[in-house]
Amino acid sequence: MASIPLLMYLVVGATGLVGLGGEICRRLRAAGKPTRALVRPTANADRVAHLRSGLVYTVLQPTFYMEVWLAPIGGFDFANARASIYGRGSNQISWVSMEDVARFAAMCVDTPAARNATFELGGPQALTPLEAVRIFEDIGGRRFEVEFVSEEQLEEQQDRAANSLEESLAGLRRCYAAGDVIEMSATLATFPMTLTSVRDYARRVLFPSQMTAPNPSDARARP
């Protein structure tokens, strides 16, 4: 008789303010169901400690998402070749795709090394924001209009924030300006996969109906 594969319940948002995720975890655990919770690194410490009591957990710490910070919502309007750059644009960031983070989360379910562990997640290559702009220019064939937001302006935005959301956004932009490089060699040894590059992402969003962009200059080796 063929063996029945083990079912693992993956709970996201287990430390949320409403408490629903934590309650789901508790009920699954009480029913004897194999359960794993994914929590943010900024999650409430007391809620995380409560989950750790008898429950397997995994903390994923992704750096800046391409789909947010290299997209209109983050001030990177690739469709109109305009981009806001926070800081000088010279500090490297290991831009990561949300799709890759979702794959990591799914792989955590049946990867023993993910039990009660924390993983920082980044993409395959650390690039400065200006290098990311050049990749989009190269693939799209259009020169970008770039606006710089200085670190002093970002600090002022954070100090004058009218609410916690504005304060958090300004803080994230300051972190962007400082850069964030994630070394992925050890993590990829545990979770073998091919990561999405900024160039892959640019092709996808600029030419969604095509596998590759019809731009001869794209064949040149650039970061």
Is the pTM higher than 0.85?
A: no
The residues, any chain, with a CB within 8 Å of residue 76's CB and separated by 6 or more, are 69, 70, 83, 84
Q: Please report the sign of the dihedral spanned by the C-alpha atoms of residue 66, residue 71, residue 74, residue 80.
A: positive
Whether 56 has a pLDDT exceeding 80, the answer reads no
Type and span of the H or E element at 155 = helix 151-159
How much is the pLDDT for 210? 76
**Interval 123-151 mean pLDDT:** 98
> Architecture of 63-96+123-182+194-219 per CATH?
Alpha-Beta Complex (3.90)
| Residue 39 parent element (H or E) | strand 35-39
Domain boundaries, the chain: 63-96+123-182+194-219
The dihedrals phi and psi of 216, each to the nearest 5 degrees, come to: -55, -30
Distance CA(213)–CA(219), nearest Å, equals 10
DSSP state of 158: H
**pLDDT at res. 160:** 94
pLDDT at position 175 is 95
- Convert the pLDDT of each residue in 163-209 to its tens digit: 988 998 999 999 999 999 999 999 999 999 999 999 999 999 999 98
Q: What's the chain's average pLDDT?
A: 84
- Report the alpha-carbon angle 185-188-191, nearest 5: 160
Say what the pLDDT of residue 130 is.
98
pLDDT at site 221: 38
Structure confidence at residue 205 (pLDDT): 97
Q: Which of 21-25, 150-154, 208-212, 218-222 has the lowest mean pLDDT?
A: 218-222
| pLDDT digits 0-9 by tens, 64-119 | 999 999 999 999 999 999 999 999 999 999 999 999 999 998 888 788 898 888 89
The model's confidence at residue 59, banded by pLDDT at 50, 70 and 90, is confident
pLDDT band of residue 216 (cuts 50, 70, 90) is very low
